[in-house]
């Protein structure tokens, strides 16, 4: 606001809202205006500390805020209006909930006296979002607004992070109150565990150091807990093989020899075989998701399991673990590194060497091989070239499907927060808005979006946002004219009955990009892939849409079919 | 196995639906649920009777604890505890024999007749659920017009207590 009111003067709820965000250090809000939030937009208009990014659909706002948070260590913030504004946001909120993204979403609501009246643009936003938020609030009195916002940021960013929604009726934004922002907040019902139990840590270390066939299995909790440095130190000190989940890629450098690739349904042979044969499993910041475990009855049959996680409810939820440690991953790993030298037993190097020989045998299967001499562009080749040409250091977002798996398999992430995808909810359409958020968090970085012709159309309208804010995102559209992952399952499990998986009547993506004011390219020959990516990366200030016409029949390998164990992979 | 879980939760609108929503979303059984404010008006006390394997009960308590509105929680089952349920039964009593028999049964079960009309009694009875079941069985000869049961409340015996 141009004039800062005196401390004791009452200001409107809308102004309080803006002041709270400023106090939280919020720099970017993704949103879309509407009737219920007009007072808030007016207050945003009269200040210049917080940038508001106008998306083209509320789903895009939430995903952009997620991309912003996932690519950085900050909380994402989004603002939508009541009714359809809120319902459009639900997919994004559910996505953030599944992947534990710290997010505060503000929704406008009809005035308090109309709540429950089926008023224009009224929905029970708190009710609709309840199952897919970490917590939500309805603010009924302007005097509670500042404290509620403080609580929202605290809950969203502490413990296991997640989305928090604050529903604000329009009249609350017009009423006045004295602004006071609490410096700290205490909630008697919310005290997330931080430090791990020292006794458990020692017990776990004893088991870890006595392992003959150890395996580290780490996930998104390492990224969210900013623990990749500690994890790297811990893993190198142990000399054990490590695998990452889809959400955990970049938590440990992919180019390191100890990294055996991603695990799970489309993980590497060596990672899944290593898991299956392991005698000690060290699970860190993971939740034993069904895409990782395969058939739970056959999961890690020989392993004693140590599980480190900030969320007690993740412990023994799907798989019974032997030594749980509840707390933040980072300080626990630091303590383990410190304690390790004081332990009486150390890993037996001969046994470990034998285990590594076995793993190298599995690795030698080269499970990610594909036909490199194909006259048709192979999607894997595009991702590999992208990795080469960006030095493995780009921010890469993806949508959901085959291209997502190829991006995860073939772009070796050496750093955390570089890989931004929808793992839990598997939301098609996230790729472009994720990239927008990442580009706002890192204005000078190379941000790329690996997508497919089906996914990209689910939030294609955001190309307009990208033009308005000059976001030089590089989109790699792996266009196989199919819902590739659906087609693959239909080929494998439905005798090739391709029900509704063919993408007919596709737009001309080059013209589409151009009509949005961007650069479009169509690439049809394998020999042109490298040149096109180079050219696109050289266009530093333009969004480039690269439409790669790829092999329609390519499948994602290896694969654990549903119901199978980790040692029952289909290889190419 | 059957478990009785008691919780203290913030006495705020929406808190109840967070708990009941959790049970339906995750497919947990819910046999009964009672809730009312406590002596501290900012807190409600809820008693949930549920059933499931040890692993499911562990998940239920963890997921309940994870709800921001849940302040404290105790699974009463492993503790020595008292559980009580209240029941109101309206029976048709058309003649003197019926009235006498209803009164006699009520006395045996240590209940009270709390409403009398020309042809009806309302009987109030408190106790363990199985006692209430037995009473209903004993009433089989009477036309029962209405049965209202409160659901189970529970409290631990001795020093164990659920408080802030």
Burial class (CB in 10 A: 0-12, 13-18, 19+), A160: buried
Query: Which positions in chain B touch A164 (Cβ < 8 Å)?
Result: none
* Nearest by Cα to A238 from A270, A208, A278: A208
Token output for B65: 């604890």
Burial A527-547 (b: 16+ CB within 10 A, else e): eebbebbeebbeeeebbbbbb
The pLDDT value given to residue A254: 98
- Assess if residue A558 is contained within a domain: no
Name the domain boundary from A363, A395, A416.
A363
Interface test with B, best of A127, A160, A189 (most B CBs within 10 A): A189
| Cα separations in angstroms, A315 against A16, A107, A289, B63, B65 | 40, 33, 12, 11, 13
Query: Which positions in chain A touch B11 (Cβ < 8 Å)?
Result: none
Instruction: Write out pLDDT tens, residues A378-394.
Output: 999 999 999 999 999 99
Distance from CA of B156 to the nearest CA of A (A): 22
Task: Answer yes or no: do A312 and B9 touch at CB < 8 A.
Answer: no
A31/A148 same-domain check:
yes
The pLDDT value given to residue A217: 98
- Tell me if A455 sits within 8 A of A397, measured CB to CB: no
The pLDDT value given to residue A429: 98
Task: Answer yes or no: do A313 and B62 touch at CB < 8 A.
Answer: yes
Number of domains within chain A: 3
A277/A166 same-domain check:
no
Query: Which positions in chain A touch B58 (Cβ < 8 Å)?
Result: 316
Task: Answer yes or no: do A187 and B68 touch at CB < 8 A.
Answer: yes
A354/A210 same-domain check:
yes
- The rounded distance, in Å, linking the Cα atoms of A193 and A184 is 17
pLDDT at A559 over 90: yes
The residues with which A281 forms a beta bridge, in sequence order, are A215, A305
The pLDDT value given to residue A4: 53
The pLDDT value given to residue A572: 84
What confidence category does residue A1 fall into, taking pLDDT thresholds of 50, 70 and 90? very low
Q: What phi and psi values does residue B34 have, to the nearest 5 degrees?
A: -125, 150
Distance from CA of B51 to the nearest CA of A (A): 17
A263/A290 same-domain check:
yes
Q: H-helix or E-strand containing B33? A: strand B32-37
Give the residue numbers in B contacting A (CB under 8 Å), as ranges: 9-10, 13-14, 17-18, 21, 25, 55, 58-59, 62-63, 65-66, 68-71, 164
Cβ neighbours of B110 (radius 10 Å):
11
* Nearest by Cα to A162 from A226, A214, A94: A94
pLDDT at A494 over 70: yes
- Assess if residue A15 is contained within a domain: yes
A174/A230 same-domain check:
no
The SS3 call for residue A423 is coil
- Assess if residue A342 is contained within a domain: yes
Distance from CA of B30 to the nearest CA of A (A): 18
Instruction: Write out pLDDT tens, residues A456-493.
Output: 999 999 999 999 999 999 999 999 999 999 999 999 99
Alpha helices (H) along A159-280: 170-174, 198-209, 220-224, 228-238, 269-277
Interface test with A, best of B68, B70, B162 (most A CBs within 10 A): B68
- The rounded distance, in Å, linking the Cα atoms of A342 and A155 is 37
For the packed helices A529-538 and A379-389, what is the interaxial angle rounded to 10 degrees?
A: 40
Instruction: Write out pLDDT tens, residues B126-140.
Output: 999 999 999 999 999
pLDDT at A432 over 80: yes
Mean pLDDT, range A330-350, rounded to an integer: 94
Mean pLDDT, range A291-299, rounded to an integer: 92
* Mode of pairing for the β-strands spanning A419-420 and B70-75: unpaired
Instruction: Write out pLDDT tens, residues A138-196.
Output: 999 999 999 999 999 999 999 999 999 999 999 999 999 999 999 999 999 999 988 99
pLDDT at A2 over 50: no
* Mode of pairing for the β-strands spanning A474-479 and A176-178: unpaired
Query: Quick one: DSSP state of residue A459?
Result: S
Residue indicated by tokens 């659906």? A486
A442/A348 same-domain check:
no
Mean pLDDT, range A513-521, rounded to an integer: 98
Alpha carbons within 13 angstroms on the beta-carbon side of residue B128 total 6
Task: Answer yes or no: do A135 and B68 touch at CB < 8 A.
Answer: yes
Q: Which domains does chain B have, with CATH numbers?
A: 2-78 (3.30.70.260), 82-153 (3.30.70.1150)
CATH assignment of the domain containing A253: 3.40.50.1220
A152/A224 same-domain check:
no
Mean pLDDT, range A490-498, rounded to an integer: 96
A52/A148 same-domain check:
yes
Task: Answer yes or no: do A131 and B164 touch at CB < 8 A.
Answer: no
Mean pLDDT, range A435-457, rounded to an integer: 98
Q: Is A316 on the interface with B (CB under 8 A)?
A: yes
- The rounded distance, in Å, linking the Cα atoms of A548 and A479 is 6
Query: Which positions in chain A touch B164 (Cβ < 8 Å)?
Result: 188
- Assess if residue A211 is contained within a domain: yes
E-strand ranges in A118-220 read: 135-138, 163-169, 176-178, 214-218
Instruction: Write out pLDDT tens, residues B83-117.
Output: 999 999 999 999 999 999 999 999 999 999 999 99
Exactly one of A70, A151, A170, A213 is catalytic; name it: A170
- Assess if residue A368 is contained within a domain: no
Query: Which positions in chain A touch B61 (Cβ < 8 Å)?
Result: none
Q: Is A192 on the interface with B (CB under 8 A)?
A: no
Q: Is A152 on the interface with B (CB under 8 A)?
A: no
- Assess if residue A559 is contained within a domain: no
Tell me which residue in B10, B18, B59 faces A130 most closely, judged by beta carbons. Answer: B18
- The rounded distance, in Å, linking the Cα atoms of A230 and A189 is 30
pLDDT at B66 over 90: yes
Looking at chain A, the whole-number percentage of residues with pLDDT higher than 70 is: 99
Mean pLDDT, range A305-329, rounded to an integer: 96
- Tell me if A106 sits within 8 A of A76, measured CB to CB: no
Distance from CA of B15 to the nearest CA of A (A): 10
User: How are the residues of chain B apportioned to helix, strand and coil, as percentages rounded to the nearest 5?
Assistant: 30, 40, 30
Query: A58 catalytic, yes or no?
Result: yes
- Assess if residue A97 is contained within a domain: yes
- Assess if residue A132 is contained within a domain: yes
The pLDDT value given to residue A270: 98
A285/A325 same-domain check:
yes
Question: Alpha carbon B93 to chain centroid distance?
Answer: 27
Task: Answer yes or no: do B55 and A127 touch at CB < 8 A.
Answer: no
- Tell me if B131 sits within 8 A of B141, measured CB to CB: no
Interface test with A, best of B12, B46, B60, B66 (most A CBs within 10 A): B66
Name the domain boundary from A147, A178, A209.
A178
Task: Answer yes or no: do B18 and A155 touch at CB < 8 A.
Answer: no
Tell me which residue in B55, B65, B71 faces A316 most closely, judged by beta carbons. Answer: B55
A258/A397 same-domain check:
no
Instruction: Write out pLDDT tens, residues A63-92.
Output: 999 999 999 999 999 999 999 999 999 999
Exactly one of A17, A24, A30, A58 is catalytic; name it: A58
The pLDDT value given to residue B13: 87
Query: A120 catalytic, yes or no?
Result: yes
A412/A321 same-domain check:
no
The pLDDT value given to residue A110: 98
Name the domain boundary from A144, A178, A212.
A178
* Nearest by Cα to B77 from B160, B20, B13: B160
Query: Which positions in chain B touch A312 (Cβ < 8 Å)?
Result: 62, 65-66
Mean model confidence pLDDT for chain B: 96
Q: Is A155 on the interface with B (CB under 8 A)?
A: yes
The pLDDT value given to residue A7: 56
CATH assignment of the domain containing A35: 3.40.50.970
- The rounded distance, in Å, linking the Cα atoms of B7 and A40 is 38
- Tell me if A18 sits within 8 A of A149, measured CB to CB: no
Q: Is A147 on the interface with B (CB under 8 A)?
A: no
Residue count of chain B = 164
A171/A278 same-domain check:
no
Task: Identify the domain containing residue A474 by its residue range.
Answer: 379-549
Mean model confidence pLDDT for chain A: 96
- The rounded distance, in Å, linking the Cα atoms of A175 and A171 is 6
Instruction: Write out pLDDT tens, residues A206-253.
Output: 999 999 999 999 999 999 999 999 999 999 999 999 999 999 999 999
């Amino acid at each position: 606001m141009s004039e800062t009111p005196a401390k004791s003067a009452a200001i409107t709820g809308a102004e309080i809202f803006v002041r709270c965000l400023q106090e939280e250090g919020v720099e970017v809000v993704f949103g879309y205006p509407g009737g219920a939030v007009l007072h808030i937009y007016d207050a945003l208009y009269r200040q210049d500390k917080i940038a508001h990014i106008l998306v083209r659909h509320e789903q895009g706002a939430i995903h952009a805020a997620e991309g912003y948070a996932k690519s950085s260590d900050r909380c994402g913030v989004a603002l939508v209006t009541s009714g359809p504004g809120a319902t459009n946001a639900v997919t994004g909120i559910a996505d953030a909930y599944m992947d534990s993204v710290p997010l505060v979403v503000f929704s406008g609501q009809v005035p308090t006296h109309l709540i429950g009246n089926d008023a224009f643009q009224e929905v029970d936003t708190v009710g609709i979002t309840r199952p897919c938020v970490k917590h939500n609030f309805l603010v009924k009195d302007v005097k509670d607004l500042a404290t509620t916002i403080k609580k929202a940021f605290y809950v969203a960013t502490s413990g296991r992070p997640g989305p928090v929604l604050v529903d604000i009726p329009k009249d609350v934004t017009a009423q006045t109150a004295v602004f006071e922002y609490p410096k700290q907040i205490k909630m008697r019902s919310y005290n997330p565990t931080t430090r791990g139990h020292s006794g458990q840590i020692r017990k776990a270390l004893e088991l870890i150091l006595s392992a003959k066939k150890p395996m580290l299995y780490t996930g998104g909790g390492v990224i969210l807990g900013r623990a990749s440095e500690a994890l790297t130190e811990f893993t190198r000190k142990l000399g054990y093989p490590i695998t990452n989940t889809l959400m955990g890629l970049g938590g440990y450098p992919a180019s390191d020899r100890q990294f055996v690739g991603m695990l799970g349904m489309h993980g590497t042979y060596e990672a899944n075989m290593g898991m299956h044969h392991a005698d000690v499993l060290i699970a860190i910041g993971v939740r034993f998701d069904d895409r990782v475990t395969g058939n739970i009855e056959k999961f890690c049959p020989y392993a004693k399991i140590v599980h480190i996680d900030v969320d007690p409810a993740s412990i023994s939820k799907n798989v019974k673990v032997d030594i749980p440690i509840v707390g933040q991953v980072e300080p626990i790993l630091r303590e383990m590194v410190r304690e390790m030298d004081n332990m009486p037993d150390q890993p037996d190097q001969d046994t470990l060497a034998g285990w590594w020989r076995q793993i190298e045998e599995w690795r030698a299967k080269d499970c990610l091989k594909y036909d490199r001499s194909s006259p048709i562009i192979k999607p894997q080749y595009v991702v590999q070239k992208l990795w080469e040409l960006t030095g493995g250091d780009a921010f890469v977002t993806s949508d959901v499907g085959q291209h997502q798996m190829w991006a995860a398999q073939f772009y070796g992430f050496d750093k955390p927060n570089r890989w931004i995808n929808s793992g839990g909810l598997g939301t098609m359409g996230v790729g472009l808005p994720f990239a927008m958020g990442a580009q706002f968090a890192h204005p000078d970085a190379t941000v790329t979006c690996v997508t497919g012709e089906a996914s990209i159309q689910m939030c294609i309208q955001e190309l307009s946002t990208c033009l308005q804010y000059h976001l030089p995102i590089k989109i790699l559209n792996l266009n196989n004219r199919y819902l590739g992952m659906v087609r693959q399952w239909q080929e494998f499990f439905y005798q090739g009955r391709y029900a509704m998986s063919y993408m007919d009547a596709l737009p001309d993506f080059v013209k589409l990009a151009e009509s949005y004011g961007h650069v479009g390219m169509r690439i049809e020959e394998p020999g042109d892939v490298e040149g096109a990516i180079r050219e696109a990366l050289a266009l530093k200030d333009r969004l480039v849409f690269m439409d790669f016409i790829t092999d329609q029949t390519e499948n994602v390998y290896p694969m654990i079919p549903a119901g199978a164990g980790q040692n029952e992979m289909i290889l190419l | 196995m059957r478990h009785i879980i008691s919780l203290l939760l913030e006495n705020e609108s929406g808190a109840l639906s967070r708990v009941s929503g959790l049970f339906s979303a995750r497919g947990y059984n819910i046999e009964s649920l009672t809730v009312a404010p406590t002596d501290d008006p900012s807190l409600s006390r809820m008693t949930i009777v549920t059933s499931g394997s040890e692993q499911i009960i562990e998940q239920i308590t963890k997921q309940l604890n994870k709800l921001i509105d849940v302040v404290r929680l105790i699974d009463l089952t492993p503790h020595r505890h008292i559980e009580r349920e209240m029941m109101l039964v309206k029976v048709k009593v058309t003649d003197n024999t019926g009235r006498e028999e209803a009164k006699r049964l009520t006395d045996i079960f240590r209940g009270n007749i709390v409403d009398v009309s020309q042809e009806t009694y309302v009987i109030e009875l408190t106790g363990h659920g199985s006692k209430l079941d037995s009473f209903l069985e004993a009433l089989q000869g009477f036309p029962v017009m209405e049965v209202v049961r409160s659901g189970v409340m529970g409290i631990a015996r001795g020093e164990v207590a659920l408080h802030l």
